Structure 1
Amino acid sequence: MKTLFGKTWIVMVAIMFTVGFGFSSCSDDDNETATPQLINANLTDSEEEALLFMLEEEKLARDVYIYLGNLWGTNQFLNIKQSEQTHMDAVKSLLDKYDVSYEILPVGSFNNQELQFLYNTLIEQGSQNVLSALNVGAGIEDLDIVDLQNYLDEMERPDIVAVFESLQCGSENHLRSFVFGITNLGEDYVPSYLTPEIYESILNSEQQSCL
């Protein structure tokens, strides 16, 4: 259980790109053709729940950035919303791969009512001024990075691990962009979830090329 800007946000962070992993089954007979097999094709309940939640978590970021981008015309929101759409598409690809049904509601609407409440709260906060909007964006990415690391510490499925790492890479890029905008307004962003050491390490790193 975590809080974002004083409101409860249970974030289960899941995955971005579909990566195929397999192995070859063979016998001592050199003439037998090896047959590729899918490793652990069935998701666990927790993995399925994570995928479904992540679809809407990525949608939350996208929808907030769409709203604030239209309101303020700020480059960070206009650019990053495209990245969040790519993240949504990647999660959908994995849901399709594992034959998990899902529903995507219109912009600003969510199946998960906590995310619905969070969306309403964030756009209200971000509507105050550009600085508040940039802090909303930085806060979303700050929390995403921490949640992703928590899942990376627990996940074993190779495609999930690979995608979580890519999502974390993207969130670090986004955080740097939002903090850059905050700094240009003469203010500082104080992380709510990242440790000061990790936050400084991210800020001092170069923008990365992420999947």
Structure 2
Amino acid sequence: MTSKQFSVLAILLMLSWGNLCWAQPDEDKESVSVTEEQSNEPVQSKIQGQLSEQELEDLLWMVEEERLAHDVYVKLGSKSNLRMYDNISRAEKVHIAALSSLLKNYGVDEHSLGKECGKFTHSEIQGLYNELVDRGEKSLEDAIVVGLLIEEMDIADLSKRIDRTEKKDVKQVYQFLQLGSRNHLRAFSRQASFRNVEYVPQHLSQNEFDDIVGGERERGRPGRGRRRF
């Protein structure tokens, strides 16, 4: 077993699904419902060989990145009266479940993934979670900025991972997550505009960001001619 393989195995052993913490814009209209999110989920095709070490590492990273989004929104939602946080945090559970199902198809035990709320295996994600919660708890405006940061980070990170795999089923799940993140980004952007919150994209170009937030909410399964960033 190589050191890289051992590191991946260690991550799997350390993670645990069971303890996941679960006059303004019309939030019900702009936020993505769990039912809608599930209807967008791709029908996963048959597995194509085995996951490479890079593909497995990428999937494990995205599980924690989606968990970060969920856990941050749960934390900030407990201090805000915006239903948007509750709606989007529940939608993030659908994203996590899609990744879990994909990993299970490749023989990775889904019950070995996850950890208690706000605790992460990747040190970079742990540090980012702490930083985002600290910032988001300062004010509602800061909480909205945190949402924008998370969603554009997801979109950019998923694009990198889409480019690193040739497996159709993996790409489909990543594209599904991207579609959801674009819708979430639009919801946070509308709140930012309503509250006069200024925001400069950190992970996407300004043109990419503007193109997404200026578009309509996306429905239907991804990967059918939509632009990928």
Q: Quick check: TM above 0.5?
A: yes
1:151 is displaced (CA, Å) by 2.2
* Pairs within 5 Å for 1:14-93: 19-21=44-46, 39-40=48-49, 42-93=50-101
- Deviation at residue 132 of structure 1 after TM alignment: 0.1
Equivalent residue for 1:200? 210
- TM-score, structure 1 normalization: 0.79
**Closer/same/farther in 2, CA of residues 149 and 182 from structure 1, 3 Å limit:** same
What's the offset of the Cα at 1:18? 6.1
Q: Which runs of 5+ in 1 are unaligned?
A: 1-15, 22-37
Contact 1:18 1:94 in 2 (8 A): no
Structure ranking higher on relative contact order (CA contacts 8 Å, 6+ apart): 2
Structure 1 residue identity aligned to 2:83: N
Aligned residues: 179
TM-score by length of structure 2 reads 0.73
In proportion to residue count, which structure has more helix?
Answer: 2
Distance, in Å, in 2 between the alignment partners of 1:144 and 1:196 is 16
Name the aligned partner's letter for residue 137 of structure 1. Answer: G
Runs of 4+ aligned residues of structure 1 deviating over 3 Å after TM superposition are: none
Corresponding letter in the other structure for 1:19: Q
Work out the percentage of aligned pairs sharing the same amino acid: 35
**1:85, distance to aligned residue in structure 2 (A):** 0.6
Quick one: which of 174, 177, 182 aligns to 1:167? 177
Q: 2:196 aligns with which of 186, 191, 196?
A: 186
- In angstroms, what is the RMSD of aligned CA positions? 1.6
Q: For 2:145 and 2:64, locate their aligned partners in 1 and report how far apart those are by CA, in whole Å.
A: 21
Q: CA deviation at 1:50?
A: 1.4
CA distance in 1, matches of 2:133, 2:43: 31
Q: Distance in 1 between matches of 2:55 and 2:208?
A: 27
Secondary structure of 2:78's aligned partner: helix
Flag the 1:113–1:39 CA change in 2: closer, same or farther, 3 A.
closer
* Per-residue deviation, 1:17: 5.5
| Secondary structure of 1:119's aligned partner | helix
**SS of aligned partner of 1:190:** coil
Q: Do 2:58 and 2:161's aligned partners in 1 also have CA atoms closer than 8 Å?
A: no
- Report SS of the residue matched to 1:135: helix
